[in-house]
Chains A and B, each alone.
Chain A
């Protein structure tokens, strides 16, 4: 590779080392397990790698990768195979401090019941704290549709049988 390509490769690797965990967090909430989250982020990085040098800074590139993660997730075709491979067995049976593991199992099951777009909207709105307009831009859908998905997704989670026994955070 030319020197510029080597520099680009090093920069890209540093970007991933510094920001990859955050990308994985979003992907984990969308997919519900380590393996698929990793797969989703790898796919998004593979799609966007060639744009790294063209982006003026890592912040913009991260936004670009996140958009690609969400769009890939929404359009991804492995939904049925993921359902059949749901790694519930991976979650420890014993409760960790704060009951996070029990909540994780229940909330993942509740999230599983949501259509893909609703899950993506909820993750963008309530974990990435993105306003409606930005969510609409990321997912390529009208703002009204974002609000609709958000409202229905929240209602579905609140009413989910999987969360009936969970105490909500005050």
Chain B
């Protein structure tokens, strides 16, 4: 190699000299093990669609003569104040410890009113994840309390450095929020929260400190250690599909199982599995669970008529949910976060089908919804009618309709290459990834020179190398559809997850990031002379952004809407009341966001948002916070916009505030 830069002994030697000699790998494995257990967690609606499929869990009514369930031991350390499923009034079950929920069934949070930091002297602690009964998404903590080492846990949190969040910039990404509830002899409680994202902060009596990961690890290890001498045997909450558990379980530790299905018409059926059937399932899993092979096609899951889940739980009521795919494969994760596929034998599969058929339909309400007085009604829209979408589905361009429906997948290519004489090229969100994926461009690539370059961008990609770095992170997938004069259509799949592959039938290539960038650059070239603002049809509120990395200082919105959520939650699947933003207000918003500084939200999102469209019709989303400011992410950073008084005067009422 004749690259002169590689021969720079100064830089090379100096860089090598400064590395300390005492770097030790001693803690790498344990740390990796803890991170591995969490890094594949459900993050947002997109991840939920990819792995579990959004569905509200079905609460199973435990019949009087139903399967035997384990009863909690009667020691004082296992006080049955967590006997879910036995609440008076028939309130559907909430998974995990009762201490993790308020009386109205909403999850507790460190941000709730409490006076002062946690103090020593606690006698119990509970570990709470971010499970939302509203959506059925999130992690559930252990059902049993921790009863030793509590003072040390609190002291270690309080010994960490204080973080001034008003001057520290942390990205507003999301990984996992958790809470530890400490209970004292007088029954009072203190909550210490933690965010495993952003600045990795703990929150204790209003004081933010570093060390959320360490606190999480300490809690995790404490429970694992306590369980070594704990017989378990708790009442099993009746949830299917079950949530993810902070303390992960191995499928072969299952002592109870349930099977549930949800049809496209919303009908649900659910049943407990007999002990014998659970034993048969776990025996089969132990023998036949297989990790995915390299480049093995993923199980199919395109719009089945009925979604089916198998939920297992162990003696500590930790959950493991497996989703069944159309080809009979179940996808699951073991206690270490490894993804596995399980294919039951025909006989076992038939038994599971029969169990579900016997269950029949049920009208049992979804878990987590309160029953009786106290239910809060959805807020009435207070702005002009605008457009309300009950089942928000973003616009799909004509050339992408079959990609969206799942009817089009990657196609076999002639001699493994895309012919370069297509008439147009569409970039389409793929299948189930419609909601939550960044929006592709409205228009196809049609300029002759650019269309041929799009084909060349694929053809020039290298085959997947043997040591391709693949990760378990989640991301969207797209179909790049080439249309030819004779009516032929060729499609290649662009995956922004896993091995970052680009797949055209049997032709598999790598470096999807490079391919995507090349494609987007072609679209930018085509748009260089765009002079008319494009309108994106359909509801805009479900949109989460654009495939183009739009930066606020480069965004000049030509139209936009306010989105007022009509239900709780802040994900793209929530219906929203949508209203157009007047031109004068739009101009003020453009001015405001162009100079918005980097920042970190100090309060939570309130579920509302603004969706702006650029001249090309690409969406840019501003999320509204509880204090009336707005935030959005730009790559690694987040920006905060505080509307000026005049703007806020006009903008705030549009959100019904």
Contacts and interface: CB of A to CB of B under 8 A. Distances in A.
Interface of A: 1-2, 12-13, 16-17, 19-21, 23-25, 28-29, 34, 37-39, 41-43, 45-51, 53-55, 60, 63-64, 67-68, 71, 75-81, 84-85, 98, 100, 103-104, 107-108, 122-123, 125-127, 129, 131-132, 137-138, 140-142, 147, 150-151, 154, 157-158, 166, 168-169
Contacts of B402: none
B18 A129 contact: no
Contact of A60 (B20, B170, B213, B467): B467
A68 B15 contact: no
B11 A126 contact: yes
A55 B338 CA distance: 15
A46 B199 contact: no
A47 B5 contact: no
B646 interface: no
A106 to B, nearest CB: 9
B10 interface: yes
Contact of B23 (A25, A48, A64): A25
Contacts of A85: 161, 210
B29 A16 contact: yes
Interface string B169-181: 1110100000000
A107 B467 contact: no
A12 B17 CA distance: 29
Given A29-B19, A76-B636, A108-B18, 5 more contacts: A21-B25, A46-B31, A49-B32, A81-B200, A85-B161
A151 B5 contact: yes
Given A131-B6, A137-B465, A38 B473 contact: no
A39 B485 CA distance: 53
* Interface majority SS (helix, strand, loop, mixed), chain A: helix
Interface in B29-66: 29, 31-36, 39
B657 interface: no
A43 B36 CA distance: 8
A29 B15 contact: yes
Interface of B: 1, 3, 5-6, 8-20, 23-25, 27-29, 31-36, 39, 161, 163, 167-171, 173, 197-200, 210, 213, 250, 286, 291, 293-294, 336-339, 465-473, 500, 511, 513-514, 598, 636-637
Given A42-B35, A46-B35, A140-B514, A80 B170 contact: yes
Contact of A142 (B6, B170, B514): B514
B39 A43 contact: yes
A41 B469 CA distance: 15
Given A13-B29, A24-B25, A54-B294, A80 B467 contact: no
B144 to A, nearest CB: 23
A45 B469 contact: no
Contacts of A60: 466-467
5 contacts: A1-B250, A16-B28, A53-B291, A68-B471, A108-B18
* Interface majority SS (helix, strand, loop, mixed), chain B: loop
A28 B5 contact: no
A169 B28 contact: no
B12 A126 contact: yes
Contacts of A80: 168-171, 598, 637
Could you say which of A41, A84, A154 has the most chain B C-beta atoms within 10 Å of its C-beta? A84
A169 B198 contact: no
A129 B465 CA distance: 20
A98 B173 contact: no
Contact of B19 (A25, A77, A137): A25
A42 B17 contact: no
Contacts of A54: 291, 293-294
A1 to B, nearest CB: 7
B469 A131 contact: no
A132 B18 CA distance: 24
A127 B16 contact: yes
B469 A64 contact: yes
A169 B469 contact: no
A45 B200 contact: no
Given A12-B29, A24-B25, A126-B15, A81 B5 contact: no
A127 B491 CA distance: 42
A16 B320 CA distance: 29
Given A45-B29, A77-B173, A50 B338 contact: yes
A81 B198 contact: yes
Contacts of B337: 46, 49-50
A143 B466 CA distance: 20
A47 B472 contact: yes
A169 B10 contact: yes
Nearest to A61: B467
Contacts of A42: 27-28, 31-32, 34-35
Given A28-B19, A29-B19, A67-B469, A157 B11 contact: yes
A120 to B, nearest CB: 12
Contacts of A16: 25, 28-29, 32
A88 to B, nearest CB: 14
Contacts of B20: 28, 34, 104
Nearest to A26: B19
A45 B28 contact: yes
Contact of B171 (A78, A103, A132, A140): A78
Given A78-B200, A100-B18, A169 B598 contact: no
Given A21-B24, A42-B28, A50-B291, A129 B14 contact: no
